Amino acid sequence: MRPSRLRRSQLAVPGSSEKMLRKAAESAADHVFCDLEDAVAPIAKVGARDTIAWALNNLDWGKKTRCVRINDVSTEWCHGDIITLVEQAGANLDTIMLTKPMCVADVLFLDRMLNQLERKHKLERKIGIEVLIEEVQGLQNVEAISTCSERLECLIFGMGDYAASQGIDTREIGSNGSYPGDIFHYARFRITMAARSAGLDAVDGPFANFKNEEGYVTEATRAKSLGMVGKWAIHPSQIEPALRIFTPSARQVERARKMEAAYQEAEAQGLGAVQVDGVMVDVAVIRLARNTIAQADLYGL
Ligand code: COA
Ligand code: MG
């Protein structure tokens, strides 16, 4: 069974900044990924491993999902990132986020490394894998990637690198620009389908202009509508909007529980459909309501 984890707001934190790591631990985000990749300069990457391990071991992360984003398998840092983090902080690490996987083999490299390191360090809890779909090859192989490892928990759409990989004409990461329609619709839809089909979470990536809350809300709402469970925050100001958008409202939860109760009662009486407040509730409707109830349970509502 895959663990259910919180991922409504995935906060990106440069792993070289002790100050920001402290702020991240205290933040309201329910998932934090300590970054070793693009937010850390090449000269600081090796040192940042120790800083992140210290932060994971010594700060109070509350109920947050604790994740480390590592450099991709084509770099000289990938294997060292995995070894140092698991060796120093494996017991305090929930997941590792792999950047730029192109194909199944890239994910299996991380999976096999974790097998060896967990045995070596006698870790009792398995470390999960989250992957960033941010290359055109990665998107083309997303279905195969999504089922290649038992450790997989989450697929994330990384639209910044993805735009560069495809040659999309954009100047601001995460924005729709002047494209007539939603420029990210296809990628989000395909990634969310692959994720759901494999029993994984799907999460939406960054929105760089953190002063533009309206733009962030538009993009997060689109992701939520398609079935994604959260969105990145690259700045603390983006945490609250993500939590608001990806948490079902008290009214939605109350209604879902009311539907569930009415449906169970109907079923006991041999009925397949019933009405609740003028709306038909049958097997399909109850599935939607149960999605809301599952979220409410996960978020402690
Ligand atoms: N995590 C934790 N704390 C953060 C943060 C983050 N991602 N981004 C900013 N903060 C802190 C700042 O340190 C600052 O703290 P202070 O008030 O105690 O000084 C406060 O939040 C307000 O930040 P602000 O001054 O508005 O921005 P900044 O100029 O310090 O930082 C960025 C702006 C973009 C450099 C910063 O938000 C950042 O590094 N974001 C993450 C980038 C990243 O991880 N990219 C890779 C994934 S796309
Ligand atoms: Mg990237």
Pocket of ligand 1 (CB under 6 A): 11-14, 19-20, 23-24, 35, 38-39, 206, 234-236
Which domains can be identified in the chain, with CATH numbers?
9-245 (3.20.20.60), 250-299 (no CATH)
CA within 13 Å, CB half, 175: 15
pLDDT in tens, 99-139: 999 999 999 999 999 999 999 999 999 999 999 999 999 99
Residue bearing the CA closest to ligand 1, atom 29: 235
For the chain, percent of residues with pLDDT exceeding 90: 94
Q: What is the pLDDT of residue 178?
A: 87
Going by pLDDT thresholds of 50, 70 and 90, the confidence category of residue 67 is very high
What is the pLDDT averaged over residues 198-224? 97
Q: Say how far apart CA 33 and CA 24 lie, in whole Å.
A: 9
Nearest CA-CA partner of 107 in 150, 149, 161, 156: 149
Residue bearing the CA closest to ligand 1, atom 47: 12
Measure the N-to-C terminal CA separation of the chain; round to a whole number of Å. 23
pLDDT of 272 > 90? The answer is no
Phi-psi region of 100 (alpha: psi -120 to 50; beta: other; left: phi over 0): left
Q: Say how far apart CA 51 and CA 59 lie, in whole Å.
A: 11
Q: Say how far apart CA 159 and CA 232 lie, in whole Å.
A: 11
Ligand nearest to the CA of 12: 1
Q: Are 168 and 178 in contact (CB under 8 A)?
A: no
Residue bearing the CA closest to ligand 1, atom 27: 235
Ligand nearest to the CA of 163: 2
The encoded tokens of residue 190 equal 């395909």
Identify the helix (H) or strand (E) that includes residue 274: strand 274-276
Provide the residue type at 210 as one letter.
F
Output the pTM of the full model: 0.97
